[in-house]
Amino acid sequence: MPHTDRPEENLQEICRQIAEAKREYDALDMKPRESLRDFEYRVKRHSVVATSAITRQWCRENLHKPVRMQWKTLCAKVRGHYAYYGITGNDRALGSFVYQVNRKWKHWLNRRNRERNMTWEKFNLLLECYPLPLPKIVHSIFKKKRT
């Protein structure tokens, strides 16, 4: 974004970028929230619920597979989620998503035997060996497009 000494031109440029980003991410099932200080996109509620249900179902169907295989697949799923929903202002939702994946994975790992001994301490030790990817913003609305 070119910087000028006239603040109204900077404001117009920011508004133009916001409008362009709205058009660009409208197809991604996102809803915008904006103000001059704060610009962010949030995933629509039904998308979050659907993704959560899909993750839960996958963990349930694969609970007897080796942990390493589960981890590799979950990492791929989480990276794919970041690639699709990782846009400017959606970092809080991405952090919430990976937290929900961790909760669901722990829940289904805990159901692998009768003892139900997968405590959060044990699960955190498991996450040290098999960490899920951290939230990452992949698409920035403020990056200059190449033409």
Residue 2 has pLDDT above 70, yes or no: no
Own/partner pairs, 35-42, CB within 8 angstroms, 24+ separation: 36/11, 38/89, 39/88, 39/89, 39/141, 40/88, 40/89, 40/90, 41/87, 41/88, 41/89, 41/90, 42/89, 42/90, 42/93
Name the band, by pLDDT with cuts 50, 70 and 90, for residue 58.
very high
Looking at every residue in the chain, the average pLDDT score rounds to: 78
pLDDT computed for residue 26 by the predictor: 52
pLDDT computed for residue 19 by the predictor: 66
Between 144 and 39, the higher pLDDT residue: 144
Name the band, by pLDDT with cuts 50, 70 and 90, for residue 128.
very high
pLDDT computed for residue 108 by the predictor: 94
Q: Which of 70, 86, 84, 65 is nearest to 134 (CA)?
A: 86
The structure tokens listed for 19 are: 């409008």
Domain coordinates in residue numbering, the chain: 7-129
67-108 tens-digit pLDDT: 999 999 999 999 998 888 887 777 788 888 899 999 999 999
